[in-house]
Amino acid sequence: MGHHEAYWVVVIERFSAYGLLGFLLSFLLPGRLAVACSLVIAVAMGLELLQALTPDRDPGVLDVLQKAAGGTVGVLLAQTILAFLPRPPA
CB 18 within 8 A of CB 48: no
Residue 44 makes CB contacts below 8 A (sequence gap 6+) with: 18, 64, 67, 68, 71
Query: For the chain, which residues make up each domain, given as ranges?
Result: 17-81
Q: Using CA atoms, how far apart are residues 50 and 41, in angstroms rounded to an integer?
A: 14
pLDDT in tens, 10-45: 999 999 999 999 999 999 998 899 999 999 999 999
Task: Provide the pLDDT confidence category of residue 87 given band limits of 50, 70 and 90.
Answer: confident
Q: Is the pTM of this model over 0.75?
A: yes
